[in-house]
Amino acid sequence: MVGKHNSVLSRIREKQPGVYDLGCLCHVANTCLSYGLKQLPSAVEELLIDVYYHFLHSSKRKEEYKEFQQFTVTDAAKILKHCPTRWLSLDRCVRRTLQQWPALHSYFNSHEEAEKCGSCVYRCANNLNNEQLLLVFHCLEYILAPLLEFNTTFQADAVMIGYLHQEMSRLLRKFLGKFVTTSAINSSSQITMVDFKNPNIQHPDDNLAIGMNARRFLNDNPDLPQETVNGFFRTVREFYIEVTEKMIKKFPFTDKTLKAIGFVNPDLRDKVESESVVQLSTLFCTDQSIDVLQDEYMDYQLSPSTELPTFKYGETALEDFWFSLAEYKLPTGSRRFKLLPELAFVVLTLPHSNAETERCFSTCRKIQTDSRGNLSNNSVNALLSIKLNTRVECFNVRPSEKLLTMAKKACVSYNEEKKCGV
């Protein structure tokens, strides 16, 4: 889709060289995670998939498993399906598997096929008996939290483009801080220039961030073979290094346009130079006066916070701030900021991820099902618009008298046309 030579993007740029491609950072974050998982034991995803499909089509096995849940005093819960292409699938499945671990361990080790080499039950029993794998699961429960937070943030349908570069950098700092010393991170001029592969600035195993549950498991099991413990720490360290390396390579940390877009975040107005904002204007608003825009942005940067609309990070919507700023007037009655809010509104329309589009595709599939395959394009479009733009539950909608009258007239006209056609 976005390759350099023969892709959708390259063909679009043949006709429109100035098109700006940001990509979907939720997809990129998930890709970085998938590279990191390759450094962990392959049994992680193997166990999740084997357990799910073992119970999928067998009511008998599900009923038998309930007895083991009661025997091990494990809360009854459904086994979740792990789908690698779903962004948040792994975290939910890991947490559910850990919660069900005692019951799963007892069930598969008691199964009649547990000794049959090569069977699915045999693999599950061996993996559930693997103490290093259990350690890895406890660690993953902790490690996946920052990526889950990042993905959840940018799956929101709110305007988030102004936070994107800032949150990318914060995510990278979080991962670096888990295995690299704080002094090495702070002493680097740029977050992407930290020499994280240098063992001299990495935490020793005792300080490596693995989560309290994993650390507690190690403390409660002092008899674990040293080889198992060393192998666990080695794989976790390799996971951190691989994910960090892929983040630096794939995330657009050096994208000047994305950095400049940060000006719409009031907290970053002192960190974005006017030249960058002018370049944004030439890219997205070619008819703006550069001199006027620079003067407005300088006025905006130099204004104390008391003269600007109230903004609280995480509470005030970016578009609300800029709508309020656009209404500010001079004593003469003319608008104080005219071109700068116009540029901000254009920038705020840029999508921060593909999540909204993915939701649209999903909703469309639910509308045009096999039993409703003959719906016309106009009907699908109308139903899709209602579902995406209506924020209240259907049973709470109270149509107005005017709408009911129009609907009745349309129904009568339709019936008359059908009669004439017959």
What is the radius of gyration, based on Cα positions, of the chain? Answer: 28
Which helix (H) or strand (E) segment holds residue 299: the answer is helix 290-302
Distances (CA, A) of 242 to 107, 147, 148, 236, 247: 35, 14, 18, 10, 9
Tally Cβ neighbours within 10 Å of residue 293. Answer: 23
Hey, where are the domains in the chain?
257-348, 355-421
Residues 6 or more apart in contact with residue 147 via CB below 8 angstroms: 29, 30, 33, 91, 171
- In this prediction, residues 365-369 reach a mean pLDDT of 87
- Decide: residue 142, CB within 10 A, 0-12 exposed, 13-18 middle, 19+ buried: middle
- Residues 162, 264: Cα–Cα separation, whole Å: 6
At CA 39, angle to CA 34 and CA 40, rounded to 5?
A: 95
- Is the distance from CB of 243 to CB of 34 less than 8 angstroms? no
Band of residue 233 on the pLDDT scale cut at 50, 70, 90: very high
Dihedral sign for Cα 214, 216, 221, 227, please: positive
**Collapsing DSSP states into helix, strand and coil, what is residue 329?**
strand
Mean pLDDT estimate for the chain: 88
User: Would the pLDDT of 284 be above 70?
Assistant: yes
pTM of the predicted structure, to 2 decimals: 0.83
Residues 6 or more apart in contact with residue 201 via CB below 8 angstroms: 180, 181, 184, 194, 195
- Residues 120, 287: Cα–Cα separation, whole Å: 65
Q: What is the pLDDT of residue 295?
A: 92
Q: What is the pLDDT of residue 422?
A: 52
Place of tokens 């995803």: 45
Q: What is the pLDDT of residue 138?
A: 92
Q: What is the pLDDT of residue 88?
A: 75
Closest CA to 351 of 9, 21, 27: 21
Residues 6 or more apart in contact with residue 323 via CB below 8 angstroms: 341
